[in-house]
Structure 1
């Protein structure tokens, strides 16, 4: 299945869930009792791409102001969830230098690569910017990580929830019922193929993070430069 087909299927399913009121409202977004943390390898788009995304989100806010919108500091592409967020995980549970070493091994033949943010897609829980890779580099990174961690003794949960294959960035989550479904659906349809820009990924970050990658909880553990 092509990436475009995958995004199309996600979008169509999400639209149906919105029309039928079967979309998911996240009750934990602002809950002080949410203690889900993990470790993620991610890429961040540059500021000009983020600003283009915020222009879109500002339009959505007018229609649906009560939803959860990602700040520029939190927008990212998940390269790999090394340890998927779960209740009670703490950084002192692991030796982070061991993780840095394995990731360095996985990246030693990897050069920078480009991602194009073209259009939006959706899920039953929110909206995402569609990311498309210009070559196979991101898939190679992920496969290298799978192979490297598979033979290690380190705690990890790679592909335990699902096998990651996209390059999307989540930018909105539903935290309240939609009050203007019709206008909301019209707006996201209008941005379905909108070009947010293309950028080069020349570094990756390993971070300790909460479920939503909020800046106040994220701790950068290491930066991997790609040449």
Structure 2
């Protein structure tokens, strides 16, 4: 009866992208078994070299058959490759308001897993994550604007990606404009208030007609002369 074991048919196998890969799966038994393997409905011949690519990665079901019976075994193929699909993202946005915080993340597809290095704008408020996959900035300033470049590397190669971060200071101009507008408004109110007090202060109070001629307050109210003498604009009260 056929037998598939780790010696002739290892359960974990590593290929390298761009090189020839061979699905090693040899069965024991007499008469000699025939071995066929398949993945997702697609067959692949064991022991035959193929140009390896990432599409070959996955778990294959291998079956050995002879006149005495059948044996089956799962074989997982890993296809190692250099970094690909490097993504660099600024979160929540690459357009940052001065004083706010943001994070730049880096990721890549690679086997084995890549290591990450950065080229960053020189600034004191940067903090790298323990795995070097991200950079966090607190209280952003103009020193934090620029190009953030991440390089992913493993023994099969390296690849880089970048993002441009902009620090927006337009809110400062808005504050300055609002401050200037407030100052102008306050000055205008002060002038208007002074004019109002000047033109109304002498009108306060009530006067008897008999006191009008000698009243300094009444004299403020547009006194003028005609052929009848001095005329005062005053508020009359009951005698």
> Please, what TM-score do these two structures have when normalized by structure 1?
0.17
Structure with more strand by fraction? 2
Q: Which has the larger radius of gyration?
A: 2
Q: Whose RCO is larger (CA < 8 A, sep 6+)?
A: 1
Structure with more helix by fraction? 1
